[in-house]
Amino acid sequence: MKSALLLADLHGDYQKLDSFLDLNCDTIFFAGDLTDMGPPEAAEDLLERVDVPTFVVPGNCDPPGMVEFLECSDWVCVHGSCFCLGRVSILGIGGSNPTPFSTPFELEESKIESLISGALARRESAMHNVLISHAPPYGILDRAGVNHVGSKAVRKHLSSFDLVCCGHIHEDRGIEEVDGTKVVNPGMASKGECAVIKFGDVAKDIGIELLSV
């Protein structure tokens, strides 16, 4: 894998999908919110139209049943699990830490911690170690108004990864690097926002470009 297209927050709006696919990346990372409150079957058209390897976690606006739905598809659901693809390891955590809105797929921080720790114990470390998390790490690309609303459990494990791909916070699109770990929120895919990630031939050589199609 040399390049990955990062998408998040489609919320059931797939009008820009063909333009994303025209970017011709080797694989797709999807950081959640495929649907707008479900049901899982609402994403069926999306899955059928994508013909490149895709690694995905559900978002807080997807129902919990999305995990099983994705596991029965051709996409690779990495929620609470890990996958190694050559020089890139991919670990995932879907849903989000609790929000004020009682969305369908929210997890307590202790559950997020348990899922990440369990997956890390099984992970084979690679040249580039990636976390796909719908929720951003606390304090990084997680500002809603004046408040930081990211996951403290994700932030706790930041140093275990070279790259964290997240979404969730629509208004905090961007790229940051904290203590050697790059964090990217590609923005709302429903608006044509995305990121292209390029993996280099040495550790920590990860290029990220924010794009709109």
Structure confidence at residue 1 (pLDDT)? 86
Q: What CATH number should be reported for the domain holding residue 29?
A: 3.60.21.10
Helix/strand/coil for 207 = strand
Task: Report CA dihedral (107, 113, 116, 122) to the nearest 10 degrees.
Answer: -130
Residues 123 and 88: their CA atoms lie apart, in Å, by 11
Q: How many domains in the chain? A: 1
For the chain, residues with pLDDT lower than 70 are none
Is pTM beyond 0.85? Reply is yes
Tens of pLDDT, residue by residue over 144-200, are: 999 999 999 999 999 999 999 999 999 999 999 999 999 999 999 999 999 999 999
Residues 129 and 89: their CA atoms lie apart, in Å, by 5
91: number of Cβ within 10 Å: 28
Structure confidence at residue 102 (pLDDT)? 94
Structure confidence at residue 78 (pLDDT)? 98
Q: 151 lies in which domain range?
A: 3-212
Q: Which of 20, 65, 13, 66 is nearest to 36 (CA)?
A: 13
Structure confidence at residue 32 (pLDDT)? 98
Structure confidence at residue 2 (pLDDT)? 92
